[in-house]
Amino acid sequence: MKKLISKRDISTLSRVLKYIGKYKLLLPVSIFFALIFTALSLYIPILIGDAIDLIVAPGNVDISGILKILFFAAALIGVSALSQWCMTAINNRITFHITRDIRNDAFAKLKTLPLSYIDTTSHGDIVNRVINDTDRFSEGLLLGFTQVFTGILTIVGTLFFMLVINWQIALVVVCLTPLSIFIAKFIGKRTFTMFKARSEAEAEATSIVNEMIGNQKLLRAFGYEERASETFEKAAKRLESSTLSAIFISSLTNPTTRFVNNVVYAAVAAVGAIMAINANAAGAAVFTIGEFSVLLSYTNQYTKPFNEISGIFAEFQNALASAERVLKLIDEESEPGDAENACELNSTKGLVELQDVDFSYTEDKSLIENLNLRANPGERIAIVGPTGCGKTTVINLLMRFYDINSGRIQIDGQNIESMTRKSLRASYGMVLQDTWLMAGTIRDNIAFGKPDATDEEVIAAAKAAHAHSFIKRLKNGYNTTLGEGGEGLSQGQRQLISIARVMLTRPEMLILDEATSSIDTRTELKIQDAFSELMEGHTSFIVAHRLSTIREADKILVMRDGKIIETGKHEELLKKGGFYSELYNSQFAH
C-alpha cells in the first residue's frame, strides 16, 4: 500500500482519519454489517455447489434436497442484501458528517483568515475549495467506505476457502494477482496529478465566472463581452484538457482489470479441467463438480474486488487531490489571536494616537513610514491625499485588519494590541465606498450590527440616513427582499442603507471612507448634517477625495507617499499654499 500511495497522500489520509475518528462508534456497526454481508456472500456459493452435487445423474436428482438448499440460499441472500443496505446507510451517514465537518472547518477558517490572504487569493479558488472540492472528496470517501473494506474481506475469505478446497488452483489465482496491483499502481500515480490539475483549472474557471457576473455593467459598458468570452474559453479549454486527461487515465482501470479477471478465470477453468481429467484417468477424485463450480464462483468473487478497488483507487486519488486542496485552506495561517491577557474595550473617550508607525503590505515595498497622528476625543479627522498615498491603509491599521510592522497605536493611552479585536472593531462604525449588503430584507440589512433592534429604531436610523422615503416607495417597504449584494437598488440607495446601518449602532468612534461618494449632492448635504449629529462628541476619521466635504473637519491630515506632510484646518492649509491647496484648487479649477 505504501508503494501505491505517496507520502503526501498518507499525510492527507491521516488528516482525514482524524475526522473519521469522531464517528468511531458508527464504524464498528458498519464493520459488523460488512462482515455479515461478506460471510453470507462467501457461504452462498457453497450452498449452490452442494445443490449441484445433488444432481448425481439423469433420473437420480434429489429434488427435495435441492429445494431446501435453494430456499435457504434465498433467505441468506435476503439477509445479505439487508446487511449491505444497513452498511451503506451507515457509511452514507459517516461520509455526510465528515464532509460537513470539513466544509464547516473550511468556512470557519474563512472567518479567521487574515485580510492579506483574502486580498491576494482568487475568490473563485476559495469558493471552489469549500464547495466543489469538498463534494468530490465526499464521493471518493463514500466509495472507499462502501467497497474497500468488503472487498478486502472478500479477497481474504475467498482465498481461504479456495485453499481449503484445492490449494493448487488457489496458487494459480495468487500468482496472477500482482497484475491487478501493478495496474492500480501504474494508473494511481498518474491520476492524482491530473485530478489536482483539474481542480485548479476548475477554480480558475469559477473565478472568471464570478468576476463576469459581478461586473456585467462594466463589461458591457466597455464592450468587453467578446474578450470575456475568449478569456473564459481559454480557461474552459484548460479545464477540458485536464478533465479529459484525468478521466482517460482513470477510465483505463475498469477494462484493464476486467481483462486480468478474465485471464484469471480462464486459467482457473483450464487448470481445474486438466486436473479433473488427469485425476479421472487415474481413477482418483480431485473435487466434485459442485466444488469446481464453487472454485469458479470464488475466482469471480476474488477478482471482482480488485477490479472495484482499482477503480476506487483512481477515484480515491481524485478525492485525495480535492481533500489536499481543502485541507490546505484549513491549514492556512489564521489572523493572529488576541494577546493572552487582552482586555475588552467596553467604552472609550476617543483619544487615538499613532506613534512612529511603519507598515508595508510586502517586505520589498515600504508604504507608511514613521507616521504620527493624534486624534483628540470628539475631533473630526479628515485624511486626504492622492490615490495610493496610504489613506485607506491607515483605516485598516486603526481597525487592526492589518497589524503594523513597528511603532504603536493607542486608544485612551492603551495599546490596541492589548485589546480584543472584536471589542476594538465594535467601538468603530464604518461606512465604506464599496457597499456590502447581504441577501435578505432591507430591515435585516439595516439591523445587521444590532439584530435585536426594534422596528422603531430601524426606521429612525433610516430617516436619519435619508433612506426612509425611498424604502417606503418600495412595494414591500422594509420587508423588501434584496438579492445578493443589494441587487434591485441603485448604488446610491445601497450606500444610504449602509449609512443607516451605522446610524442604528451609534458607535463611539466613526470611520467614513468615501461614505457619500455614490450619493447626489443634494442628499449628500442632508447626510452630512446627519453625520454631524452622529459625530458630535465622537472621534471620527473621514477619508475623502471630494475636499468640499471636509471643510468643517477639526483637523485635516494631508498624506503623500505614506507620510503626513501637512496638518491643519481647511482655511489654514489653503493659506499655506502647499500641497493641500494644490489639491483643493485642482478640484475647483475652471
> 238 and 202 in contact (C-beta within 8 Å)?
no
Q: Note the pTM of the prediction, 2 decimals.
A: 0.64
> 352 and 380 in contact (C-beta within 8 Å)?
no
Instruction: Take residue 404 and report the three cell numbers written for it.
Output: 503594523
> 518 and 554 in contact (C-beta within 8 Å)?
no
CA dihedral for 138, 139, 140, 145, sign (positive or negative): positive
Residues of the chain with CATH 1.20.1560.10: 12-331
DSSP 3-state assignment of 376? Answer: coil
Say what the pLDDT of residue 217 is: 56
Residues of the chain with CATH 3.40.50.300: 340-427+547-590
φ, ψ for residue 390, nearest 5 deg: 115, 15
Alpha-carbon distance of 106 to 9, in angstroms, equals 19
Strands 406-411 and 352-359: antiparallel
What DSSP element (H or E) covers 305? helix 289-331
Alpha-carbon distance of 583 to 545, in angstroms, equals 9
What DSSP element (H or E) covers 162? helix 149-165
Q: Which fold has domain 340-427+547-590?
A: Rossmann fold (3.40.50)
Say what the pLDDT of residue 387 is: 77
Quick count: other Cβ atoms within 10 Å of Cβ 575? 11
Instruction: Take residue 397 and report the three cell numbers written for it.
Output: 491599521
Say what the pLDDT of residue 314 is: 64
Quick count: other Cβ atoms within 10 Å of Cβ 346? 9
Ranges of H-type helices in 113-132: 115-120, 123-128
> 285 and 106 in contact (C-beta within 8 Å)?
no
Say what the pLDDT of residue 3 is: 46
* CATH of 12-331 among 1.20.1560.10, 3.40.50.1820, 1.10.10.10, 3.60.15.10: 1.20.1560.10
Say what the pLDDT of residue 519 is: 66
Instruction: Take residue 560 and report the three cell numbers written for it.
Output: 503623500
| β-strand partners of 481 | 441
DSSP label of 334: P
> 137 and 199 in contact (C-beta within 8 Å)?
no
- In 322-365, the DSSP E strands lie at 352-359
Alpha-carbon distance of 571 to 552, in angstroms, equals 10
Encode the chain (590 residues) as per-residue pLDDT tens digits: 444 455 666 777 777 778 877 887 888 888 888 889 888 888 888 888 888 878 765 567 778 888 888 899 899 999 999 998 998 888 888 888 888 888 888 888 888 888 778 877 777 778 888 887 887 777 776 666 667 778 788 888 888 888 888 788 888 887 877 776 677 667 666 676 777 777 778 777 877 777 776 666 566 666 677 777 788 888 888 888 888 877 777 777 667 777 777 787 788 788 877 776 776 555 555 667 777 788 888 887 877 777 666 666 666 777 777 888 888 888 888 878 777 788 888 778 888 898 888 888 877 777 888 888 888 888 888 888 887 777 888 888 888 888 888 899 999 888 988 888 888 888 888 877 777 787 888 898 888 888 888 999 999 988 888 889 889 998 889 998 887 767 778 777 888 888 888 888 888 888 888 766 666 777 677 667 667 776 777 888 888 776 766 777 888 888 888 788 888 888 888 888 888 888 878 766 54
